[in-house]
Amino acid sequence: MRMRAPQKTGMSATLALVALLQVAGTSAAPPAAQDLAWGEALYYFYQQDYIPAITRLQVARTRQELAYHDQESELVLGGLMLGYGMHRRAETVFQALLDSHPRPSVRDQAWYFLAQARFQRGLSEEALAALARVGDDLPGRLEPERIDLEARALLAVDRPAQAAELLTDHELPGGWRFYGDYNLGISLTRAGSESEGDAILDSLGRATVTGAELASLRDRANLALGYARLSREDAAGARQAFDRVRLNGPFSNRALLGAGWADSTRGDFAAALGPWAELGGRDPLDAAVQESLIALPYAYVQLGTPGRAVDGYEQAVTGYEHELDRLQLAMETVSGGSLATSLRASEYQGNVGDAAFGRYLYALMARDVFRQSVNGLRDLDELDALLAGWQDSAEAFTAMLQARRDRFGSSRNPVMAAVDHQRLEELEGRYAGLSDQTAAARVNRDVLALADSHERQLLARIDALESVADPSGAEAARLHRLRGVIYWNANAAFPARLRTAEKSLRITEESLLAARQKMQRIETADAEAPRSFDEFEDRISSATDQIAAMRARVARATERQAGLLEQLAIGELQARHDRVSAYLTQARFALAASYDRATLAEVGQ
């Protein structure tokens, strides 16, 4: 089963890939595998079948099949777990790896990935403690990421001065330089060095970059710079920064809102109408668009056009009321348990159906925590499907085992009938007698003992004739000479016949021994086969019980995950509800004031 690649949770499964390449000492070709289990895990890994890769690595660890790649496998296993958001399990793996006293390069990577796991769990101080243990053997590819992680951790614990010092002391390469500049600008601004922070953010905001990711980072820099200047009432500088944000980028709505407030701060309300009017035609779910609904009539009030202000506030009140109704219906629908079902049946850019919360789903998916939770739900579904496949395999194994039992039972009787101990003992007795005779013939040189059948027949006839012949006659003499000829021939052939007889005895001995051993094996198999069938049946039964228990655990985890998603969705929808309620209150008060101004204007006319 092809499992989806874990979504980005900071660095995702890329952590494992970077670790794998670094410990292998290469940056391009896959590392050579000296352990078969490691090679199998790599196969699944490069196919992005991460669940089978994790499973194979864990089985290999249990069976001690990683003689050459034990440390590398631990590093990759922890990275994969981290990519799936299993921060505690990943931390356990990295800590165990550190306790095993790995070589320096693996040790430093383990401390780095342990810091990643802790930071993603919100343990920024603990992440900094782990980063402090990283030595000088961290692969160069990971060094920029380490600096970036440490800077973000320092900002998370409100130590911006130290973050600024760190970033100032390290010049990051390639695209990491832009992230370093952004964090440095934020750090300096939060540390009180506003002019220096402004200069760095302004430089980044003007930089020429390639790629959507760096273009979005540049927009973030301009957005942060604009609102920082706006908070210091530098309206002109704020407007300049907001103007550099792309109109089709993810931060354009907030930039348009800020641009309008920058113009209004300067008293140029006519100019503020432009960006706020542009916002009015955009996604009504966006917070900046919703705020613009009351900002636009506010500008009309300042421009002395109370009638247009009344129209604007009325539209805002109507829009907010409708949005509150939709939000309330969405929260009731989500509470009914249909969220998880819709998420299972859709992709991020797919059709989410006509569910009341469908229009909010894309906005929810923009949040990392919600998206990761959805990934977790889908991964649990796929894991359950994988376990269901194993359950089906267990049933197939049970059927195969029963077929082997039946086949063994049907073949047992004829096989055991061929085990004839009495016949074998008779043959062994005959062999013993022949062996004794041959030994006696050798010792006594009894050449006639090895005579062939023709010679024995002749000797028997001679014996019969001699019994009736006259011992002193010529016939007896001829019979005596014939006996001598036969003895002479037998004596001449005796050495060759002795060798042939002894060779045949050896062959016979080996055949009898093989027959005896085969009988013993048949009897042993007959006794052990039922036990082996029982053992396999116990193993299959045990595996079936384990799979059933794991499916039950997955079912409980799926239920909890669905509940977590529901809580996150309700929380997000409630936050939207509260925000829109606040806007509605402002709009109603402003509408009432606008009615008064409009009435006074009519009276004045």
Instruction: Write the DSSP assignment of 241-289 as a string of letters.
Output: HHHTS-TTSTTHHHHHHHHHHHHHHTT-HHHHHHHHHHHHTS-TTSHHH
Angle in degrees, CA 337, 338, 342, rounded to 5: 140
CB 170, CB 205: distance < 8 Å = no
DSSP labels, 3-54: PPPPPPSSSTTHHHHHHHHHHHT-SSSPPP-SSHHHHHHHHHHHTT-HHHHH
The label of the residue with tokens 């952590």 reads 15
Within 8 A by CB and 6+ apart from 252, the residues are: 219, 245, 246
CA quadruple 429, 432, 438, 443: dihedral sign: negative
Give the Å distances, CA to CA, from 36 to 57, 162, 381, 466.
11, 47, 30, 84
Within 8 A by CB and 6+ apart from 160, the residues are: 154, 186, 187, 188, 189, 190, 191
Distance (Å, rounded) from C-alpha 563 to C-alpha 337?
9
The CATH T-level fold of domain 159-267 is 1.25.40
And the tokens for 398?
A: 């049970």
Half-sphere exposure of 94 toward its Cβ, with a 13 Å CA cutoff? 29
pLDDT of residue 2: 37
CB 77, CB 59: distance < 8 Å = no
pLDDT of residue 345: 65
> What angle, 0 to 180 degrees and rounded to 10, lies between the N-to-C axes of helices 104-120 and 143-156?
30
pLDDT of residue 216: 92
- The set of long-range contacts for 456-465, using a CB threshold of 8 Å and a minimum separation of 24, is 458/482, 458/486, 459/483, 459/486, 462/486
Angle in degrees, CA 383, 387, 392, rounded to 5: 145
Helices of type H across 445-473: 453-466
And the tokens for 495?
A: 């050495």
pLDDT of residue 63: 82
Query: Domain 1-134: what homologous superfamily?
Result: Tetratricopeptide repeat domain (1.25.40.10)
DSSP 140: G
Max Cα-Cα span within the chain? 182
Give the Å distances, CA to CA, from 9 to 83, 92, 120, 502.
6, 18, 8, 81
pTM equals: 0.66
Within 8 A by CB and 6+ apart from 461, the residues are: none
What stretches in the chain show pLDDT beneath 70? 1-33, 83-87, 345-358, 368, 412-421, 526-527, 598, 600-605
Neighbours of 491 (CB within 10 A): 12
Within 8 A by CB and 6+ apart from 240, the residues are: none
CB 85, CB 380: distance < 8 Å = no
And the tokens for 104?
A: 């320096």
| Residue in 111, 122, 174, 121 with CA at minimum distance from that of residue 144 | 174
Angle in degrees, CA 240, 246, 250, rounded to 5: 120
Gyration radius from the chain CA atoms: 45
Tens-place pLDDT, residues 292-326: 999 999 999 999 888 888 999 999 999 999 999 98
CB 221, CB 180: distance < 8 Å = no
Amino acid at 89: R
pLDDT of residue 316: 92
pLDDT of residue 224: 93
pLDDT of residue 536: 85
| Residue in 89, 28, 29 with CA at minimum distance from that of residue 54 | 89
pLDDT of residue 153: 93
And the tokens for 166?
A: 């760190």
Distance (Å, rounded) from C-alpha 497 to C-alpha 510?
20
Give the Å distances, CA to CA, from 561 to 131, 190, 589, 604.
31, 37, 42, 63
And the tokens for 534?
A: 């029982």
Give the Å distances, CA to CA, from 40 to 31, 379, 387.
12, 22, 20
CA quadruple 487, 489, 495, 500: dihedral sign: negative
And the tokens for 161?
A: 């001065």
The two counts, helices (H) then strands (E), for the chain are: 23, 0
Within 8 A by CB and 6+ apart from 286, the residues are: 253, 363
Helices of type H across 157-234: 160-169, 176-190, 194-206, 212-231
CB 160, CB 190: distance < 8 Å = yes
pLDDT of residue 601: 59
SS3 state of residue 347: coil
